[in-house]
A and B are shown apart, each in its own frame.
Chain A
Amino acid sequence: MATLLIVFSLCAAAVGLLSLVQSRWSKLAAIVLGLIATGYGWLHELSTEAESISFAFFNSQVAYMWTAISRVFWPLVLFTLTFVYVALYEVRERRWIESFVALTLINALGIFLVFTSRSFLALFLGWEVMSWSGLLIVKLTATSEKPVRSYLAWSVASGVLLLAGALLMSKGTWDLSFNTVVNNLGEYDVVAMVGLALAFVAFLIKLGIPPFHLWVPTTYEGVDPMVSAYLSGAMTKAGVFGVVLLVLITGFEWFAQFGMFRNIPWVSFFIDGVIIAGAVVATIRAWSADDASVLLAYSSIAQLSYVVIALVLMKVESYTLPAAFMGAMLLSYAHTLFEVSLFIPVGWIYHQVGTKSIASLGGAGHKMPVTFMFGFVAILSAVAIPPLVGFAAKFLIYESIVEMKVYVLSALALVVGAGAFMYAFRYVYGIFWGQIKHEYKEVSPVGIVLGLFSIALTVLLGIFNTSFQQFLTLPLESFRNLLTLDFETTTSVGGWHSAYLLALFITAGLIALLVWSSGAPARWISPRNTWYAGEPPKPEWNLQVSSHFYGPFERILDPYAEKVSLEKWLQSLSSFLEKAIGDVIRNISADLNASALASMLLLVVLAIVAYVAARGGVLL
């Protein structure tokens, strides 16, 4: 574990030095160094020893330990790093590659600390490393101040809430280890419960779950898609870890103390109600977005909502892992895979064409079919087409909701799933198909190896989703136990068989191919050779339906979406946060490092206030 810290830090430092050079070779060297560090990360993933690092801080133990749960979460970051680094090779940008690699290594280290933390203080330290390096990553490619401010405001809010929540949960004793917190919460102490709520909100902010999602689209819109790929693939997973942690600490039985309704705690109902409403709104926002990154940001929000919905309803009493946990973990993997695979093609196109606005894109697939397949299989996984990994994950989540007999919620979750097709089609058509725009005359195909690798991974992980469930349940002692050839997933209400489904899909495809080939062979014609009421489309005509794509449905849904999502109120909260933090920054210096320090200072002050408040609460 210590070796991993050293390897990552050294590689980050070396790449940081390379960023002073900024040539083609330094870019390549940076990517190679990043991949070496990632490779060591993969090696570390195989270790089964429970290594730990711990030291005392004030009254509190700061402990990091490589445990089963960190082993389960850590590949999420490694997948993202591998994909993004390999993708960077195709980016012709010179300015920020090295700095980006260095900062992502630091950021990954922060996430690693979060995943291995054994106390809330340890988690908070990792969280801060992640948040502040994340700020620098955002700053690196930001086109304006807005995304940076929004990211900073919300991540400071998240950090403050996390620390305050942790302190309240420790009842002001600074003893922040998970055991103490569990004990405190077991006594149903009001202070501890407020702390729990605050920490939950802190994690939701990092996950980008409505109503705490506003920073996600704002930030992704203003930064490079490669940066968005990293943020969405890796950093959100720290939030998933936090939610899993809190759910394991409290759990269904703990929620049940606040009253049940038809065997479901009211708390779960409330949280899931808010989140599913947010997911519906995020879906609507996703399909009406113009910027490809915003579309993907909202899709990411809607997809991650499922994780929280399932986890909040999860019962943890049984010996076997519940379907909800498996589904949540599998969806985290699927989310990492497909979001990264969706952002990377956008990034490549962005670097070749210079825009990611869907209104001015279209037709790239005619020039880069493999890149299209890369994004297409990812979006099929995102909308849960069986037997891809996205389906395996969503399936477990739906089953777990139905198992808990929350039928209205499962219907709404299925409706959100149906809405996913709408933004999926916008992504496919708006970026890749339709007429070839003039911008694409010079576009060259990229990313064949990475694309094929991603497609293979998405399919294989879907087929072998049962092996993944083994990975969650079994200790990692030998690979032989890991790979299972039993493809059937069974829950108490249903089940599916991934290998049979694949076989049937291939059979159906072959039948369709046979039918199709029975006709005369087709002549390939230009995409612009279309029927246009008899008129040959002139070269200057724009045939792409690119803005207000779902016009009639937008018109009817937007007013309601605005009301449900409390967006106006949230916008004003967000701008207040940005203003408050931005003022501090401006008063000290325009330099971001100083501003980071200033915000840290603010954080410490707030933490002390929270501490005093907590102490007061205990004394009273």
Chain B
Amino acid sequence: MEWARLIDKVTSKSLWMMMYCTGCGAIEMPPTVTSRWDVERFGIMPMATPRQADIFLITGYLTKKTLKRVIYVYEQMPEPKYVIAHGSCPIDGGIYYDSYNTINRLDLFIPVDLYIQGCMPRAEAVMDALLKLREMVEKGEANAWQKYHENFEYYDKNQKALFGENWRAVMTL
């Protein structure tokens, strides 16, 4: 048990981030990672591919088209992995809540650890969320990724309801 706590403590000091910014909100990332807020001093770095990342930061609204990619990328990340939903749109649809093509709740499809509300949350809010996640990881509370195993039927049902029964056919490689 102690060993696991130690690993959690070290892991919280090194969190690599994959940013999915096809909606809006990408503009908040540069100040977060560069000299204005310098998130690297907490060991948090942007990474290029899902295989290398621990945090999956999803900004802005998600459409039916982009959600498929989000799920695919999420499943490619090695565990433990943490998801942060950034902005109102992934929480409840935000200003696009009645659009024909956006999805309103991200956590129907993949488990989410943290939400940053606001439209648009500023870089300070992103920093705040990252530090909060850091704390959660250190205490061993950021366990949303386990839910994806435990409640896979639930997520799979929601995904199938949205994309159709055979949507994973393209992903069987």
Contacts and interface: CB of A to CB of B under 8 A. Distances in A.
Chains A and B directly touch (beta carbon < 8 Å): yes
Interface stretch (B24-32, B34-42, B69-77, B114-122): B69-77
A529 B173 CA distance: 6
Nearest to A526: B173
A531 B73 contact: yes
B171 interface: yes
A586 interface: no
A521 interface: no
B173 A536 contact: yes
Contact of A534 (B51, B73, B170, B173): B73
Nearest to B72: A536
A434 to B, nearest CB: 14
Contact of B51 (A526, A531, A537, A538): A531
Interface string A515-534: 00000000000101101001
A531 B171 contact: no
Interface in B2-45: 20
A575 to B, nearest CB: 49
Contacts of A537: 173
Interface string B98-111: 00000000000000
Contacts of A526: 173
B50 interface: yes
B171 to A, nearest CB: 5
B171 A536 contact: yes
B146 interface: no
Contacts of A538: 170
A537 to B, nearest CB: 7
Contacts of B51: 531
A591 interface: no
A529 B76 contact: yes
Contacts of B70: 534
Interface residues of B, number: 12
Nearest to A525: B173
Nearest to B168: A536
Name, among B50, B69, B70, B173, the residue most crowded by chain A CB atoms within 10 Å (CB to CB). B173
A76 to B, nearest CB: 46
Contacts of A536: 72, 170-171, 173
A49 B10 CA distance: 74
Interface in B141-173: 170-171, 173
Given A526-B173, A536-B173, A537-B173, A531 B50 contact: yes
A528 B173 contact: yes
Nearest to A527: B173
Interface in A529-549: 529, 531, 534-538
Interface in A172-218: none
Contact of B69 (A528, A529, A534): A534
A535 B49 contact: no
Contacts of B170: 536, 538
B69 A535 contact: yes
Contacts of A535: 69, 72
A202 B70 CA distance: 65
Contacts, number: 22
A537 B70 CA distance: 14
The secondary-structure label for the interface of chain A is loop
Which of B50, B51, B69 has the largest number of chain A CB atoms within 10 A? B69
Contacts of B20: 534
Nearest to B52: A531
Nearest to B79: A520
Contacts of B73: 531, 534
Nearest to A529: B173
A540 to B, nearest CB: 11
Contacts of B173: 526, 528-529, 536-537
Nearest to B171: A536
A529 B76 CA distance: 8
A526 B20 CA distance: 24
Contacts of A534: 20, 69-70, 72-73
Contacts of A528: 173
A441 to B, nearest CB: 15
Nearest to B68: A536
Interface string B45-70: 00001110000000000000000011
A31 B97 CA distance: 76
Interface string A443-456: 00000000000000
Contacts of B72: 534-536
A531 B69 contact: no
A456 B69 CA distance: 47
Contacts of B76: 529, 531
Contacts of B69: 534-535
Contacts of A529: 76, 173
B132 to A, nearest CB: 26
Nearest to B70: A534
A535 B171 CA distance: 9
A526 B171 CA distance: 11
A536 B169 CA distance: 10
A509 B39 CA distance: 37
B49 to A, nearest CB: 5
Nearest to A435: B173
Nearest to B51: A531
A535 B70 CA distance: 9
A538 B173 CA distance: 8
A536 B50 CA distance: 13
A535 B65 CA distance: 10
Question: Which of A535, A536, A537 is packed against the most chain B CB atoms within 10 Å?
Answer: A536
A286 to B, nearest CB: 32
Contacts of B50: 531
Nearest to B20: A534
B53 to A, nearest CB: 10
A317 to B, nearest CB: 61
A537 B69 CA distance: 11
Contacts of A531: 49-51, 73, 76
A243 to B, nearest CB: 52
A189 to B, nearest CB: 70
A528 B50 CA distance: 15
Interface string A496-526: 0000000000000000000000000000001
A536 B70 CA distance: 11
A536 B170 CA distance: 7
A426 to B, nearest CB: 24
Given A531-B73, A535-B69, A536-B173, 13 more contacts: A528-B173, A529-B173, A531-B50, A531-B51, A531-B76, A534-B20, A534-B70, A534-B72, A534-B73, A536-B72, A536-B170, A536-B171, A537-B173
Interface of B: 20, 49-51, 69-70, 72-73, 76, 170-171, 173
14 contacts: A526-B173, A528-B173, A529-B173, A531-B49, A531-B50, A531-B51, A531-B73, A531-B76, A534-B20, A534-B69, A534-B73, A536-B72, A536-B170, A536-B173
| 4 tightest Cβ-Cβ pairs between the two chains A and B | A534-B69, A528-B173, A526-B173, A531-B49
